[in-house]
């Protein structure tokens, strides 16, 4: 479907013996590729980013889940790796970070284990582990989703365990943890002077006032929001924040001194996993691509051929776009999880990549959003994958083989989404094939992306009910999972007899999955997926404590880890590890 306005793209062919026509392309990108680095540790799962300035140098700290965090230098337009993995002690899981400038200490928290690690930034290029703050009864059972330093206090967003805080000493050590009386499943935090913005999974956005001496929070206002609580970005130069709400897009919220108010919305297609504000620039990040929005009051007059209202009415003009994944198209990868503006640039953690982008509000959204992969049964006559134009300029696409053969070419109109179909016979069975897609603005190559096509062998060669890996449309192999706390685990068989089901496999420790799984859970809870038979299959057992953190109460779910299942349930399955052996 095509939305917004359209522009006729003139003929690209030149006439013999006549002057070459002027290039109708050559629009400037709004998001400029500066540097991309793939995190070198095995199996990286990159999460939160923090920028620290010291000695005239800008440093980037990147949380890397079970490999603690990495350190990069933000030199002139580049990303220089300084430390690939800092010392993590016994087990250094890190999914959220905060920096106390006064004591030059960095704190690492995580979603699972109730420990906080403190690192000295005396040498900011080589952080040194100082202490593993021990758990207390208050922290029992669950770690923290987000941490934030405000003044001389460290705040903990502990999901259904609520909000907590601790005083920070002159040397960076933490005082006794204290629990706030604030009600809510607290997910994300952003500090502003003597106030704290808090995004919750059940009460929307809260504005809290902080006691300057004790740090104790008092609730000032609440704004209900629709969507999962995935990110909270604060424009430090104004009283505005932006929240990422998954499939419900992103919302800009303002504070007038007494009341929170909804200022605007952006709804690009996809699951919005992260968002940030800097002046008139808004970054809205989906799992498959980053959108730059121009919030200037005169944006339409400044760039007349770049309208607002692209995806929803009254949406600001889209000034830039970059697709997730590697920029060299050598493989189809990437899943954008976190982003922050810094010094007029945009920094993104993209699953295994860190990306540095320049920002040009007078630019255009060049390149395309593309389906990551297509998996088809061997009997299907065609293979197909989706492409989407993120903005108002028509763009020409060429679909190629790895060897350079042109398989298809067409123009993708403004805001158009299209399925690209190809003859399945040209693809080998059981051999993944990378399909490069080149994107042109006029004559200029503006993006080089890719997808992967895989055809499953025939039923005779690969009986799905025995070997797994079903393609869309295949009969789903029957498996039995468990549900309930240890000692009271009951078997659950999927698929349910006589009912179509959508089974989603995930690991609760995988930050790359959090956004889409939490969005799916939110949609199930509000009835948005009624009748789809959706079932959540976690690898690890989330009962009893983490069912509330994931808001799974009352939803269809189960787990398959053989370490947690009773042996009589494990014996019911043809695979010991269904997630890895049958469906991964």
Q: How many percent of the chain have pLDDT more than 90?
A: 77
CB 65 within 8 A of CB 42: no
Which residue shows structure tokens 């029992």?
140
- Number of Cβ within 10 Å of residue 569's Cβ equals 19
Query: Dihedral, CA atoms, 400, 348, 295, 522, nearest 10 degrees?
Result: 90
Residue 366 backbone dihedrals phi, psi, to 5 degrees: -100, 155
Q: Where are the alpha helices (DSSP H) in 18-157?
A: none
Per the document, the length of the chain is 584
**What average pLDDT does the segment 50-65 reach?**
97
Q: Which CA distances in Å does 231 have to 20, 318, 342?
A: 49, 20, 17
Residue 518 backbone dihedrals phi, psi, to 5 degrees: -65, -35
pLDDT digits (tens, 9 = 90+) for 213-223: 999 999 999 99
- Number of Cβ within 10 Å of residue 480's Cβ equals 18
Q: How confident is the model at residue 8 (pLDDT cuts 50, 70, 90)?
A: very low
| pTM > 0.95: yes or no | no
**What average pLDDT does the segment 41-47 reach?**
96
Judge whether residue 507 has pLDDT over 50. yes
Q: Spell out the residues 6+ positions from residue 315 whose beta carbon is closer than 8 angstroms to its own.
A: 265, 266, 267, 293, 308, 309
Considering only residues 167 and 113, tell me which one the structure prediction assigns the higher pLDDT.
167
**What average pLDDT does the segment 504-527 reach?**
94
The three state secondary structure string of 137-205 is: HHHCCCCCCEEEEECCEEEEECECCCEEEEEECCCCCECCCEECCCCCCEEEEEEECCEEEEEECCCCE
Q: Spell out the residues 6+ positions from residue 436 whose beta carbon is closer than 8 angstroms to its own.
A: 329, 399, 400, 401, 402, 448, 449, 450
What's the rounded Cα separation, in Å, for the pair 356 and 334? 15
What's the rounded Cα separation, in Å, for the pair 505 and 530? 19
- Number of Cβ within 10 Å of residue 303's Cβ equals 20
Judge whether residue 562 has pLDDT over 90. yes
CATH top-level class for 464-583? alpha beta
Please report the DSSP string for 217-264 in residue order.
Answer: EEEEEEE---S---EEEEETTTTEEEEE-BTT-EEEEEE-SS-EEEEE
- Number of Cβ within 10 Å of residue 33's Cβ equals 14
Q: HSE on the CB side for 163, CA within 13 Å? A: 29
43 token code pair: 């199996």
What's the rounded Cα separation, in Å, for the pair 208 and 313? 32
CB 333 within 8 A of CB 346: no
pLDDT digits (tens, 9 = 90+) for 285-319: 999 999 999 999 999 999 988 998 999 999 999 99
| Residue range(s) occupied by CATH 2.60.40.2550 in the chain | 370-455
**What average pLDDT does the segment 119-132 reach?**
93
What's the rounded Cα separation, in Å, for the pair 562 and 564? 5
| Residue range(s) occupied by CATH 3.40.30 in the chain | 464-583
Judge whether residue 135 has pLDDT over 50. no
544 token code pair: 């009893």
What's the rounded Cα separation, in Å, for the pair 38 and 462? 35
Judge whether residue 537 has pLDDT over 90. yes
What's the rounded Cα separation, in Å, for the pair 517 and 523? 10
pLDDT value at residue 499: 75
Judge whether residue 358 has pLDDT over 90. yes
Considering only residues 426 and 91, tell me which one the structure prediction assigns the higher pLDDT.
426
| pLDDT averaged over every residue in the chain | 90
pLDDT value at residue 500: 78
- Compute the C-alpha angle 522/159/93, nearest 5°: 110
- Compute the C-alpha angle 459/464/470, nearest 5°: 105
pLDDT value at residue 27: 95
Domain 370-455 part of CATH 3.30.1330.10 = no
- Compute the C-alpha angle 36/236/108, nearest 5°: 60
Judge whether residue 129 has pLDDT over 70. yes
């Amino acid at each position: 479907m095509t939305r917004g306005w359209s522009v006729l793209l003139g003929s690209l062919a030149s006439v013999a013996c006549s002057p070459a026509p002027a290039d109708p392309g050559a629009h400037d990108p709004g998001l400029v590729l500066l540097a991309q680095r793939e995190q070198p540790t095995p199996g990286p799962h990159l999460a939160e980013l923090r920028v620290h300035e010291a000695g005239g140098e800008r440093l980037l700290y990147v949380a890397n889940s079970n490999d603690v965090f990495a350190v990069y230098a933000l030199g002139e337009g580049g990303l220089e790796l300084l430390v690939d993995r800092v010392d993590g002690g016994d087990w250094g899981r890190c999914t959220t970070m905060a920096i106390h400038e006064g004591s030059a200490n960095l704190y690492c928290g995580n979603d699972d284990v109730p420990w906080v690690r403190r690192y000295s930034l005396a040498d900011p290029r080589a952080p040194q582990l100082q202490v593993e703050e021990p758990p207390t009864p208050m922290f029992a059972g669950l770690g923290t989703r987000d941490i934030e330093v405000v003044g001389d206090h460290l705040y903990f967003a502990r999901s259904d365990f609520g909000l907590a805080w601790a005083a920070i000493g002159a040397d960076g050590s933490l005082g006794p943890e204290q629990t706030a009386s604030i009600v809510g499943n607290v997910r994300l935090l952003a500090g502003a002077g003597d106030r704290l913005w808090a995004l919750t999974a059940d009460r929307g956005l809260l504005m809290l006032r902080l006691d300057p001496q004790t740090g104790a929070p008092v609730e000032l206002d609440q704004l209900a929001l629709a969507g999962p609580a995935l990110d909270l970005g604060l424009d430090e130069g104004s009283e505005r924040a932006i929240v990422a709400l998954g499939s419900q897009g992103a919302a800009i919220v303002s504070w007038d001194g007494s009341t929170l108010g909804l200022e605007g919305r952006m709804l690009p297609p996809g699951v919005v996993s992260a968002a940030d504000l800097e002046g008139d620039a808004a970054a809205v990040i989906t799992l498959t691509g980053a959108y730059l929005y121009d919030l200037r009051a005169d944006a339409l007059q400044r760039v007349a051929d770049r309208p607002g209202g692209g995806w929803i009415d009254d949406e600001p003009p889209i000034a830039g776009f970059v697709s997730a994944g590697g920029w060299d198209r050598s493989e189809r990868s990437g899943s954008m999880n976190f982003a922050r503006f810094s010094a007029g640039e945009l920094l993104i953690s993209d699953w295994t990549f860190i990306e540095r982008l320049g920002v040009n509000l007078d630019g255009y959204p060049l390149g395309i959003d593309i389906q990551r992969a297509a998996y088809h049964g061997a009997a299907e006559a065609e293979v197909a994958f989706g492409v989407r134009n993120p903005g108002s300029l028509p763009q020409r696409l060429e679909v190629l083989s790895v060897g350079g053969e042109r398989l298809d070419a067409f123009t993708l109109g403004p805001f158009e989404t299209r399925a690209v179909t190809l003859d399945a016979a040209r693809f080998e069975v059981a051999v993944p094939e990378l399909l490069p897609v080149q994107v042109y603005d006029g004559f200029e190559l503006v993006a080089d992306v890719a997808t992967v096509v895989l055809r499953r062998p025939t039923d005779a060669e690969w009986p799905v009910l025995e070997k797994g890996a079903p393609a869309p449309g295949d009969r789903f192999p029957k498996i039995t999972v468990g549900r309930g706390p240890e000692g009271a685990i009951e078997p659950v068989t999927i698929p349910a007899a006589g009912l179509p089901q959508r089974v989603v496999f995930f690991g609760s420790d995988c930050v790359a999955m959090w956004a889409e799984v939490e969005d799916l859970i939110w949609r199930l809870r509000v009835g948005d997926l009624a009748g789809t038979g959706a079932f959540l299959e976690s690898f690890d057992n989330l009962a009893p404590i983490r069912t509330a953190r994931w808001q799974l109460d009352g939803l269809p779910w189960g787990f398959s880890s053989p370490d947690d299942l009773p042996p009589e349930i494990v014996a019911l399955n043809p695979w010991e590890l269904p997630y890895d052996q049958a469906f991964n």
